[in-house]
Structures are given as structure tokens and as C-alpha cells.
Amino acid sequence: MPGRPELDSIDTRILALLQADSSMAIGQIAERVNLSQNACWRRIKMLEEGGVILRRVALLDADRLGVGLTVFVTFKLVEHMPDALERFARMVRDLPEAVEFHRITGEFDYLLKLQVADIAAYDRVYKRLIQTIRLSDVRACFAMEVLKQTTALPLGM
């Protein structure tokens, strides 16, 4: 894992602004952090080239797009052979419904976050999962209410 980059307060403010609205114009950002447009642009380019800014995206409304059911799935794998694990990870990465996929510590091996239309759509994903690799102790939790959801990382400001 690469070392943590040295960020000054201006870099941190730029990152906070971009996390809030990545479509903000360079001129607006520069004005808010008290830099010239060129200096601001150079800092953003350095943050991108240094891997601090990975990409800029639009956040979409899952309900309006018909995939408003969030499902958290935990499970254990029966087999742990490297080729089977890679095949399974590749299949999950290719699932459009899979929005997060983590190998975890504790009682389970993996945590999968899905965005689906309904329980029937979850069941279709579940059936694809069990066709790829032998799973045990699969548990699905359906989100009832979103109490906090953010893509913004803490910046220590």
C-alpha cells in the first residue's frame, strides 16, 4: 500500500469541495480556496496523478432507477482454492447489482452489498452466486431505512 501523501490544508479543502460536488468548475474551487485557476488545476492534477482522486462520478437515485432495495449478504465459502476464489471474485465483480464486495474477518468470509429491484431480483442474483462456488451460511439482510449514506471520506479537517 502506498504511503499517505502529504496534503496541506488547501489540498484538503479542494478534496472536500470535490467530494461535495465533483462538477464544480475549477474557477469556483480556486476562488473558495484562494488560489489562481492555474494553481488550483495543477493541485487537482497532482491529486489525480498521485492516486488520491481515483475518478469523478455522478451519484444516482436508486429508487428512481428501480433498484431501491439494498441487500447486505454475508457468507462463507466451502472451498478456498485460489482458482475458485478468483473465478468467484470475477463473477461478483461482473454482477451489475453488486455495488460493494469485501473479504472480511470474523464469522464470515465475504460481505456483498447489492442494489436490486425486489426480492425476486435478489433471488436471481443468489442463484447465480451459488452456481459459481459452494457457499455456506448465506445470510441476507434487507435494508429498511437509510440513516446515513455518503461517499465522502473523512479528511480530518
- The confidence score (pLDDT) of residue 136 equals 87
- C-alpha closest to that of 118 among 74, 67, 72: 67
- DSSP assignment, residue 22? T
Strand partners, 69: 116
**Contact between 153 and 16 (Cβ < 8 Å):** no
Q: Which residues of the chain have pLDDT under 50?
A: none
Complete domains list, the chain, with CATH:
9-49 (1.10.10.10), 69-142 (3.30.70.920)
pLDDT tens per residue, range 36-75? 999 999 999 999 999 999 999 999 999 999 999 999 999 9
Q: How far apart are CA 125 and CA 134, in angstroms?
A: 15
